[in-house]
């Protein structure tokens, strides 16, 4: 962390590789929306870079520090996006009972179809590619943890992850409704 705090780009790259997947996994479990989760995870990593000098190894592990910040940011986002659960943030229209122009059925159907599409695309990956994606993105494992879990080298896992993400991107693009 001293090297990261000193502005060492290689140190931050190592730090990022070791922590970003865990942070994203935790945030994803809380927010459920991949795009919002990616945005919050990026904010967390930027904040960690800015505050690296304040890291105190006596207070927590690096992983604990990262996950604590990730959890706090995810919860902050949930609170910010659900103002109706916080009366002090209600808008006058909500207090008056005016209808909100929002179609819950359409939103739920779209979310369900998106999830089905992703599941379909995941089945098109090799067994090892799917396992790598699931461990990293659904279980929040870091690349080194994925490598250890699968008994593979870190470079092999990174190559497999890159190939799997490219295949998923192509599949999702091909299946996207016109």
At residue 117's C-alpha, the angle toward residues 116 and 121, to 5°, is 115
pLDDT tens profile 10-28: 999 999 999 999 899 989 9
pTM value is 0.47
Q: So what's the pLDDT on residue 82?
A: 64
Using an 8 Å Cβ cutoff, are 103 and 55 in contact?
A: no
Taking residues 152-160, what's their average pLDDT? 93
> What's the pLDDT score for residue 152?
92
What was the pLDDT predicted at 44? 93
Asked if residue 39 has pLDDT above 90, the reply is yes
Residue 103 lies in a domain: no
Specify if 90 maps to a domain. no
Res 73: pLDDT: 92
Could you tell me if residue 53 is inside a domain?
A: yes
| Cβ atoms < 10 Å from Cβ of 140 | 19
The model's confidence at residue 119, banded by pLDDT at 50, 70 and 90, is confident
User: What residues contact residue 60 under an 8 Å CB cut-off, 6+ apart?
Assistant: 68
Are the beta carbons of 64 and 55 closer than 8 angstroms? Answer: no
Q: Nearest-CA neighbor of 55 among 9, 15, 13?
A: 15
Q: For 141, which DSSP code?
A: -
Tell me whether residue 40 is in a domain.
yes
Task: Judge whether 97 lies within some domain.
Answer: no
Average pLDDT on 45-54 reads 90
**Confidence class for position 64, pLDDT limits 50, 70, 90:** confident
Rounded CA-CA distance 85/46 in Å is 29
The number of distinct structural domains making up the chain is: 2
CA dist., res. 123 & res. 125, Å (int)? 5
Query: Same domain for 20 and 78?
Result: yes
Q: 156's torsion region: left (phi>0), alpha (psi -120 to 50) or beta? A: alpha
| Model pLDDT, residue 83 | 54
Percent of the chain with pLDDT over 90: 30
Residue range(s) defining the domain that contains residue 140: 111-175
83 and 90 Cβ atoms separated by less than 8 Å: yes
Residue 86: per-residue pLDDT: 45
| Average confidence score pLDDT of the chain | 80
Domain-embedded: residue 102: no
pLDDT by residue (tens digit) across 68-99? 899 989 888 888 876 544 444 444 544 555 44
What span, in angstroms and rounded, lies between the C-alpha atoms of 145 and 119? 23
* DSSP alpha helix (H) spans, the chain: 2-5, 9-31, 34-50, 62-81, 92-96, 104-123, 127-133, 143-150, 154-175
């Amino acid at each position: 962390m001293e090297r990261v705090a000193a502005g060492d780009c290689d140190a931050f790259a190592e730090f990022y590789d070791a922590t970003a997947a865990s942070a994203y996994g935790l945030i994803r479990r809380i927010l459920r929306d991949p795009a919002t989760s990616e945005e919050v995870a990026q904010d967390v990593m930027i904040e960690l870079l800015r505050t690296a000098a304040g890291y105190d190894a006596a207070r927590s592990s690096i992983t604990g520090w990262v996950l604590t910040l990730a959890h706090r940011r995810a919860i902050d986002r949930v609170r910010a996006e659900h103002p109706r659960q916080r009366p002090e943030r209600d808008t006058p229209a909500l207090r008056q009972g005016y209808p909100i122009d929002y179609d819950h059925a359409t939103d739920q159907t779209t979310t369900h179809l998106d999830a089905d599409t992703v599941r379909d695309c995941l089945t098109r990956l090799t067994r090892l590619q799917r396992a790598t994606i699931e461990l990293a993105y659904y279980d929040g494992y870091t690349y080194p943890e994925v490598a250890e879990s699968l008994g593979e080298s870190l470079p092999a896992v990174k190559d497999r992850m890159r190939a799997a993400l490219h295949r998923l991107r192509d599949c999702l693009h091909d299946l996207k409704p016109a």
